[in-house]
Amino acid sequence: MMNTRIKVILVDDHAVVRAGFKMLLSTEAGIDVIAEADRGEAACQLYLEQQPDVMVLDLSMPGIGGLESIRRICSRDSNARVLVFSVHDEMVYVDRAMQAGARGYITKNSAPGILVEAIKLIAAGEIYIEQGLLKNLPLQHSENEYQAMIETLSAREFDVFLLLAKGLTAHKISDELCLGYKTVANYGTQIKSKLKVSSVAELAHIAMVLGMMKH
């Protein structure tokens, strides 16, 4: 596994931005940028043709845009690993990207090393949300309180919680657990209510805080 290189596709509508990322990633021994795109439609096409390990994608693009691109890619390949790299640092964007199926979210003003770290973790099947963004999350409870709340989840709810926290969509979870889509959506509502949160990003944060995101 050590010598497998991570194949990356870069998607951003600014050529200068792509060139900068490409230069940064070219200094990393284990990462290859295999293709680039400047809009969502091209990104979806390239994803199907090239099957990258990780797609690094901006949200603000002409055409169908980033969120719709993530939805389309993840609906065609439920194992797709998309890392959002955006100027937006508001939680509403993070949450919408995660609900669309993204596995990670970092901002363009993050340190260069964070992009590399995020790509490596996502390629390994983990989820990655930039720490600075998580500080904006209103986590009202301590680790112990969250642990106690997690213990109130039924076994099925706990399964759904982990998959939601990993960025899987309700459709993908219903396939994986052989449950109806509506059942999964209901579990999602119950889980958020029990953990007193309103978004998937907050579920991911709780799972990270409790050390449940490591494989």
pLDDT-derived band at 215, boundaries 50, 70, 90: very low
Q: Which domain holds residue 163?
A: 143-209
CATH of the domain at 49: 3.40.50.2300
pLDDT tens per residue across span 70-117: 999 988 888 899 999 998 888 788 888 988 889 999 998 888 889 999
Of 1 and 159, more confident? 159
pLDDT of 186 higher than 80:
yes
Is pTM, for the whole model, over 0.95? no
Residue 28 forms part of a structural domain:
yes
Alpha helices in 135-213 (DSSP H): 143-150, 155-165, 170-177, 181-194, 200-209
pLDDT-derived band at 213, boundaries 50, 70, 90: low
Judge if 45 and 151 occupy the same domain: no
CATH of the domain at 179: 1.10.10.10
Domain final residue, candidates 105, 134, 163: 134
* Number of independent structural domains in the chain: 2
- With b for 16 or more beta-carbon neighbours within 10 A and e for fewer, the 161-179 pattern comes to bbbbbbbbbbebbbeebeb
Judge if 108 and 26 occupy the same domain: yes
Contacts of 113 (CB under 8 A, 6+ apart): none
Judge if 99 and 172 occupy the same domain: no
pLDDT tens per residue across span 127-177: 888 877 766 555 566 778 888 888 899 999 999 999 988 878 888 899 989
If 0-12 CB within 10 Å is exposed, 13-18 middle and 19+ buried, where does residue 43 land? buried
Cα(139)–Cα(182) distance, rounded to whole angstroms? 28
Strand partners, 55: 9, 82
Contacts of 67 (CB under 8 A, 6+ apart): 59, 96, 97, 100
Cα(153)–Cα(26) distance, rounded to whole angstroms? 45
pLDDT-derived band at 183, boundaries 50, 70, 90: very high
Summary mean pLDDT of the chain: 86
Of 30 and 134, more confident? 30
Residue 116 forms part of a structural domain:
yes
Residue 214 forms part of a structural domain:
no
Residue 215 forms part of a structural domain:
no
pLDDT of 32 higher than 90:
yes
Tokens 């953990």 identify what position?
195
Q: What is the pLDDT of residue 188?
A: 92
Tokens 């795109």 identify what position?
37
Judge if 151 and 82 occupy the same domain: no
pLDDT tens per residue across span 37-80: 999 999 999 999 999 999 999 998 888 889 999 999 988 888 89
Q: What is the pLDDT of residue 1?
A: 41
Q: What is the pLDDT of residue 3?
A: 53
